[in-house]
Structure 1
Amino acid sequence: MKKANNKSLHPDHGVHKKRLNRVRGQIDGIEKMIDERRYCPDILIQLRAAAKALESIEAEIMQKHIHGCVKTAIKSRDENAVTEKIDEIMMLVKR
Structure 2
Amino acid sequence: METTTPDGHAHHGYIQHRDDYLKRLRRIEGQARGLQRMVEEEQYCIDILTQVSAMTKALQSVSLALLEDHLAHCVVQAAAAGGPEADAKLKEASEAIARLVRS
TM-score, length basis structure 1: 0.89
Normalized per residue, which structure has more helix? 2
Q: Paired residue for 2:10?
A: 8
Cα distance, 1:19 vs. partner? 0.6
Structure 1 CA distance, aligned partners of 2:95 and 2:8? 27
Structure 2 counterparts to residues 8-87 of structure 1, below 5 A: 8-11=10-13, 12=15, 13-76=18-81, 78-87=82-91
Higher relative contact order (CA 8 A, sep 6+): 2
In structure 2, stretches of 5+ residues that fail to align are: none
RMSD across aligned C-alpha pairs, in angstroms?
Answer: 1.5
Deviates more, 1:59-68 or 1:4-13: 4-13
Query: How many pairs are equivalent?
Result: 94
Structure 1 CA distance, aligned partners of 2:70 and 2:8? 19
1:92 to 90, 93, 96: 96
Structure 2 CA distance, aligned partners of 1:36 and 1:65? 40
Q: Deviations over 1:18-75 (max 9, x none)?
A: 1100000011001000011110000000000001001001100000000000010111
Residues 74 and 88 of structure 1: CA distance in aligned 2, closer, same or farther (over 3 Å): same
**Deviating 4+ runs (over 4 angstroms):** none
TM-score, length basis structure 2: 0.83
Structure 2 CA distance, aligned partners of 1:52 and 1:89? 21
Structure 1 CA distance, aligned partners of 2:74 and 2:56? 26
In structure 1, stretches of 5+ residues that fail to align are: none
